[in-house]
Amino acid sequence: MTKTELKNLIDAAAGRRKAGLIIKNCKIVNVLNGKISSGEVAIFGGKIIGVGAVEYDGEKIFDAQGKFLAPGFIDAHIHIESSYISPEQLGRIIVPRGTTSIIADPHEIANVCGLKGLHYMLDAAQRTKLNIIYAMPSCVPATPFEDAGAILEAEDMSELIGDENIFGLGEFMNAPGIINADDKVLDKILLAKKFGKLIDGHAPKVTGRNLNAYLCAGIIGDHECTTLEEMDERIAKGMYVLIREGSACHDLKKLIKGVTPANSHRILLCSDDRQPKTILEHGHLDSNLKMCVEEGLDPITAIQMATINVAEAFRLYDRGAIKIGARADLVLLDDLENFRVDKVWTSGELVAADGKYLPKIIPADISSMRGSVKVKNFSVDRLKMHLTGDKVNVIKILPGGVVSKKITAEIKRDAAGDFIFNPAQDICKVAVIERHHETGKIGLGFLNGYGIKRGAIAVSVAHDSHNIIAAGVSNEEIFFAVESLIKTEGGMVLVRDGKIISSIALPIAGLMSEISGEEMKEELDALHEKAYAELEISKEVEPVMTLTFMSLPVIPEIKLTARGLFDYDTFSLIPIEV
């Protein structure tokens, strides 16, 4: 802010010049004192200069007609890439839902393209009215047992960690690295501290002294709580707890029971991973707020968890409340039960009305993000197993989340020791194929609970290293699906009997598309329908997102990388055979 801009702001607040906008006749939701009062809000230069019984002249007057005016919602943790659409297109569908800011961790695209991917995301963020505050991805790759497209050490991060649009280090998934005081991990922690930056957390199942050690690094919060006991311990030890409600993980109804008047200020709302289908059919944070109230939470407390709590946790002191001097990020709501959004302003500009995003989108150039799928030495024979016994370790999918269970099972083998698929057993072959450096690495394993009975599916979204993950009933079907995926520069492909039955192209690093959220929803709906009807994937799971998380080794209990099966509890690679 220049001296002239500051003077004009003060003059407007003092009544020496007109305000830019007056929102009158509204019920103001004050998240600072927990009260609702009738009055007006005056705005100048994108900032709030008057609240309550305002006595200002304004260039523009908007009559709220008695509706509720709340601070713009802030998502405390989200991965834009998991929406499969670009930052500009994500803003287009969540801003009309009342979300005006997000804390985004772009570690998906960083795992594919490194800092080049982060530069693209920063550029795209300038082209949407959604205010995007990025993290510097802390774990690229997430563990040393993976093959990502890039490796980011502390010296690499120093280029951008000081950027004003980067709050600090994103979710530190390598919890064992911190707990065991790994030298390179400590370098990253100290770099963040040197720049006065925050460090976000990711520590499923970490408790007791291990949690104490993890927190000594300066971790501020965690979105991986799954039980009330974990939630209570984290809050008691000084962490913020981010209650997650996304497309794959549904923790809100379970954890909201642990919210009390004494601890609510330490709880934030987030979505983590949310697809356009979920957003367009159910909503974004507006949907989460509705669920909170349905579960018996006071509506103002719920709004605090999506506004001021997030702002204070992430040091976003210029937003999160309708207060003097703050950004005029405002949401006009019909009520505090269904949270239907009528109008949305960001920095005092009307950007959404009646569910429609108003600004024109001029997208960022994606040419540098294309051509990210590079596979070498891949053939049907590489998918064959040479097992010596029938008893194997299996990844069991647990519906309703991304956590898996390690089980053992007996399977059938052919004369060469390869797996023979039996549709009655609900165990299929799953493969992870390295797609960044043409290493030729392929990890093979077994999946239970996916339900597939025909064909195969291949996806270039495979958290967090984003190699290709594929599952199917035969080597031939899996091979054809992967080969088809390579030709499309990444995305999602369903095949059956050697034919493509559905596909979605994701040319932006094999993770995202420039198409609109509505178009992506339509394409995903069609793909899901084919997955259920023609491949007979279990309706208990989301066919794409569930599969994409079966390669994430920092989520319990067992996952598959391009190097093989990974056991979360021992934090090591384990053999397929028992």
Average of per-residue pLDDT values in the chain: 96
Q: Nearest Cα to 342, choosing from 23, 61, 20, 75?
A: 23
**In terms of residues, how long is the chain?**
578
Q: Whole-angstrom Cα distance, residue 78 to residue 32?
A: 25
Which pLDDT band, with edges at 50, 70 and 90, does 556 fall under? very high
Q: How many CB atoms lie within 10 A of CB 117?
A: 27
What is residue 252's predicted lDDT score, i.e. its pLDDT? Answer: 96
Q: Whole-angstrom Cα distance, residue 361 to residue 346?
A: 16
Task: Give me the sign of the Cα torsion angle 354, 286, 201, 113.
Answer: negative
Q: Are 335 and 453 in contact (CB under 8 A)?
A: no
List CB contacts of 21: < 8 A, sequence separation 6 or more: 42, 43, 44, 58, 59, 60, 61, 62, 328, 348
What is residue 142's predicted lDDT score, i.e. its pLDDT? Answer: 86
Q: Are 399 and 554 in contact (CB under 8 A)?
A: no
- Top mean pLDDT of 143-152, 231-240, 395-404 is at 231-240
Residue 156 pLDDT greater than 80, yes or no = yes
Tens-digit pLDDT profile for residues 416-437: 999 999 999 999 999 999 999 9
Q: Which CATH architecture has domain 70-328?
A: Alpha-Beta Barrel (3.20)
Q: Whole-angstrom Cα distance, residue 239 to residue 59?
A: 44
Tens-digit pLDDT profile for residues 330-355: 999 999 999 999 999 999 999 999 99
40, two tokens: 């007006």
Percentage with pLDDT > 70 across the chain: 100
List CB contacts of 226: < 8 A, sequence separation 6 or more: 204, 251, 254, 401, 403
Cα–Cα separations (whole angstroms), residue 317 to 162, 325, 487: 18, 10, 47
Tens-digit pLDDT profile for residues 257-285: 999 999 999 999 999 999 999 999 999 99
List CB contacts of 405: < 8 A, sequence separation 6 or more: 396, 398, 557, 558
Tens-digit pLDDT profile for residues 131-149: 999 999 999 998 888 999 9
Mean pLDDT of 235-250: 94
Q: Are 313 and 76 in contact (CB under 8 A)?
A: yes
Mean pLDDT of 231-257: 95
Which pLDDT band, with edges at 50, 70 and 90, does 71 fall under? very high
User: Using N-to-C axis directions, what is the helix angle for 517-533 and 87-94, rounded to 10°?
Assistant: 90
Cα–Cα separations (whole angstroms), residue 201 to 80, 310, 364, 414: 18, 14, 30, 45
Residue 400 pLDDT greater than 80, yes or no = no
Q: Which amino acid is at 164?
A: E
Ordered alpha helix ranges (H), 393-516: 475-487
Cα–Cα separations (whole angstroms), residue 29 to 94, 216, 307, 308, 535: 21, 37, 11, 12, 49
What is residue 364's predicted lDDT score, i.e. its pLDDT? Answer: 97
Domain locations along the chain: 3-67, 70-328, 369-574
Mean pLDDT of 368-387: 96
> What homologous superfamily is domain 3-67 in, according to CATH?
Urease, subunit C, domain 1 (2.30.40.10)
Q: What's the CA dihedral at 274, 276, 280, 281 to 10 degrees? A: -70
